[in-house]
Amino acid sequence: MRAREAMRRIARASASASRSSSRGTMMTMLVDDVAARTSTYARCVASNARGHDRGASNASSSTSWASDEELRMMNARVELARVARGAYEDAGKGSSIRADDGVVVAPWVRALVYDVQAFEAWFARRPWMVLRRALVVGYELSLVGVGVAAQRGERRIRARKFTETLTRLGPAYIKLGQVMSTRADVFPVEYVEELAKLQDALPPADAASSIAALERELGVPIKFFDAFDQTPVAAASLAQVYRATLPGGRQVAIKLQRPGLAELVALDAVILRRFVAVVGKWRNFKSDVVGIVDELVGRIFEEMDYTKEADNCERFREVYAEDGDAGVGLAGYIGAPRVVRALSTPSVLTMEWVDGLRLTDIDGMIARGFTPSEVLDRGLRASLHQLLTTGFMHTDPHPGNLIVAANGGVAFFYFWM
């Protein structure tokens, strides 16, 4: 039934494509390509229907979460949905217009990399945008500065207001606050404790703009998913995570970059570089303050490229696969979620949903029959194995990026570095 509906979609897309002189040839080629896969798609649907009950019992294991055949089926379904929507060419392009259409595009659209010269050139032609943002930043930070200088209110209240200000100013300033929260040797304890809230207690972006960005990035409508919870399960400085159900019943976590993130970070980088360069001339800093800004913002741009994170995640899974050579106690017990490539772009990362316990949930581990010391030992051995044997290491293994999996193993997340 689904296969026949897919063929009807192809026919409609083909008819629509033939009416467009500029895109007709391209769309016809795409329709032919997708149509050639339809018989495979139909077989996959039937196979999935027969094997769904058998596979359900093993869904907790990342290695059996979805077979290669199921993922090939999903690729075909995504392609069909994009053709039917007429968005195949634009999938993964975000809010950009293709450069070969003769339209000038922003540098972060052409490539999601930190290119300060390109950013400076782009915003030099948009001075009012720079001025407006600089006034907002200057006003917000000046209010904080006046409060600190006047010793207005308790230190805890001033620290809380400073944290709220950084949150309003956006990702670059939130990242700065996160760095400051780790420097208890420099900042008062009240500031360290309040700034630490920037690690995971952030408000989500506007729901409508987020869903629109997701549909634009993936090239499929939100109704493509069997279920999609529009309330994020987590919100961080650069992204937020949604829980959804794929056609066929597999649950996934969808990591979506905050809408407009790249432009805002690039703009803040230009303003910060100009500001610290001016201040540095009369304060005579011993450090390269402009270089520090470049390092900070450059790291943010690296973190924004989810293609790299997807590659690292897949490689990590292979190292610790059940049939791998990681060794007893590690192979099959250390893992990472499987990536759904058909629904992933540089700004969207779709992965297997993994249920588990936080490393701090001692009572939960004991209730499930796990020995906390063994779980800790397994995580420690995994880190040593990465450092001393593979040379490929997860460099941010704090409790927020690790969970205890259903088999008592440890699942790692967040692979941008």
User: Looking at the annotation, which residues are catalytic?
Assistant: 396
**How many Å apart are CA 416 and CA 90, to the nearest integer?**
25
Q: Which one, of 356, 341, 362, lies nearest residue 408 by Cα? A: 356
